[in-house]
Amino acid sequence: MKLLKTICLSFMGVISTATYAQDFDANIQIRPRYEYRNGFKSLLKTGDSPTSFISQRSRLNLNFKQDKLKLKLALQNVRTWGDVATTTTADKNGIAVFEAYAEYSFDDKWSARLGRQSLSYDNQRIMGGIDWIQQGQSHDAALITYKTAKNQLDLGFAHNANAENLLEPTTAYTTNYKNMQYAWYHTNIEKLNASFLFLNAGYQYLKTPIDLQTDYIQTYGTYLTYKGKKWDFDFGLYGQSGKSSGIDLGAMNAGGNLGYTVSDKFKATLGYEFLSGKDQNDTDTKIKSFTPLFGTNHAFNGFMDYFYVGNHKNSVGLQDAYLKLDFGIKKVKFSLTPHVFYAPNKVLAAGVEQDSYLGTEVDVTAGYKVYKDIMLVAGYSQMFGSSTLETLKTGDASKSNNWAWVMININPQIFSTKK
């Protein structure tokens, strides 16, 4: 509380003494979430028992604007209820900086931003904020933006180290990527929106005990969206190349959605995504599996996170066909999405090729606005795995593998002023 008062008073002091037009606002987010995990991310094994817990994000967002200058500071604490004693003198995770940046507008088209910031583009398949996880995702980066009414170009740069070193370390930096450069261009052509992305990320590794190397992975592609009166669609196509730990890389990703709005309260969307992989008996050393490096992967391929959320990397790839039904009943918004998963590459068990069918997952979510700044959201997911999924993940597909959660998002604005 003392920290919050100090920060707000400091910002108010700046506002009261400056002579430029200024805006300042502050908002707080309190977001506890209960989860029941019973086969989440992987199939249950014999002897496994379900678990449950409550996690919470507490975030303070401070936004300041003065003429051509913008500042943002977002502080947060992420905790699991009960991870410290009731009489603790110190928090387990403490307060972390989620965002802390300054942005300067050179004119009405060009601007630059420096500092810790969330980088989120298009459908967040390649670069996203991962808002689902309580800590979110942000980068230490520099961003240059050119923006007009119908066009935007972002150029991003990052260079990471583990400390203010005097000499180059002899061990690889593995906290994040070592460095990153990207270009994102977006344009509007009437009802069609098109984006193009080129991302180059460098990762350090020890080639030999005395040879520290940095390999680069390039991800490039396009994302298109169209929205009509009833019909809408989106389509993304990306390739990957470069090297990872000295091994050549070549992979691809393609996915799209076709939606039809039946009424104000009902919409149906048919979707499909393909992520390349590698046959388990492929002796070629080349990496052929696509990796969505900084994407909000929880939003794709089922909410139970069986694929590409800290897992399934350099595996057999994935085909995901699904139907999403969004509908409302009175003041509650529902979403029902069955996914059917297939492996596009060979899965082997004792040298015998398995059926490509991996399983079916059904996701159900419901959202209700309790009050102006209070949203209640809940979900339930069930995985009906196959014997092939057992081969990939181990565990027992015949068990009832499911996941349920309830989350309350409280996000009021607590202070706002203009001068």
What is the identity of the amino acid at 66? Answer: Q
pLDDT score of 18 more than 70: no
Lowest-pLDDT range, 4-8, 239-243, 265-269?
4-8
What's the pLDDT at 29? 98
Read out DSSP for 349-414?
ETTEEPPSEEEEEEEEEEEEEEETTEEEEEEEEEEEE-HHHHHHH-S-TTS-EEEEEEEEEE--EE
Question: How many domains, the chain?
Answer: 1
Q: How confident is the model at residue 44 (pLDDT cuts 50, 70, 90)?
A: very high
Distance CA 277, CA 317 (A): 4
- Residue 284 lies inside a defined structural domain of this protein: yes
Lowest-pLDDT range, 17-26, 74-83, 118-127, 227-236?
17-26
- Residue 7 lies inside a defined structural domain of this protein: no
What's the pLDDT at 1? 47
Mean pLDDT of the chain, nearest integer? 95
- Residue 177 lies inside a defined structural domain of this protein: yes
Q: Which residues pair with 194 in a beta bridge?
A: 187, 224
Percentage of the chain with pLDDT > 90? Answer: 93
Residue 391 in tokens = 């081969």
- Reported as half-sphere exposure (CB side, CA atoms, 13 A), residue 368 has a value of 10
Instruction: Give me the mean pLDDT over the 24-29 stretch.
Output: 97
Q: How confident is the model at residue 21 (pLDDT cuts 50, 70, 90)?
A: confident
State pLDDT tens for residues 389-417: 999 999 999 999 999 999 999 999 999 99
Percentage of the chain with pLDDT > 70? Answer: 95
Local structure of 281: helix, strand or coil: coil
- Residue 14 lies inside a defined structural domain of this protein: no
- Whether the CB-CB separation of 354 and 377 falls below 8 Å is answered with no
State pLDDT tens for residues 365-393: 999 999 999 999 999 999 999 999 999 99
State pLDDT tens for residues 259-286: 999 999 999 999 999 999 999 999 999 9
Distance CA 321, CA 313 (A): 20
Q: Which residues contact 14 (CB under 8 A, 6 or more apart)?
A: 64
Does the pTM of the predicted model rise above 0.85? yes
- Residue 262 lies inside a defined structural domain of this protein: yes
State pLDDT tens for residues 175-185: 999 999 999 99
Q: What is the CATH number of the domain that holds 45?
A: 2.40.160.100
State pLDDT tens for residues 58-105: 999 999 999 999 999 999 999 999 999 999 999 999 999 999 999 999
- Residue 8 lies inside a defined structural domain of this protein: no
Q: Which residues contact 304 (CB under 8 A, 6 or more apart)?
A: 39, 40, 41, 361, 363, 381, 383, 401, 403
pLDDT score of 418 more than 50: yes
Residue 130, domain extent: 21-418
What's the pLDDT at 419? 80
- Residue 161 lies inside a defined structural domain of this protein: yes
Q: What are phi and psi of 128, to 5 degrees?
A: -150, 170
Distance CA 303, CA 97 (A): 27
- Residue 96 lies inside a defined structural domain of this protein: yes
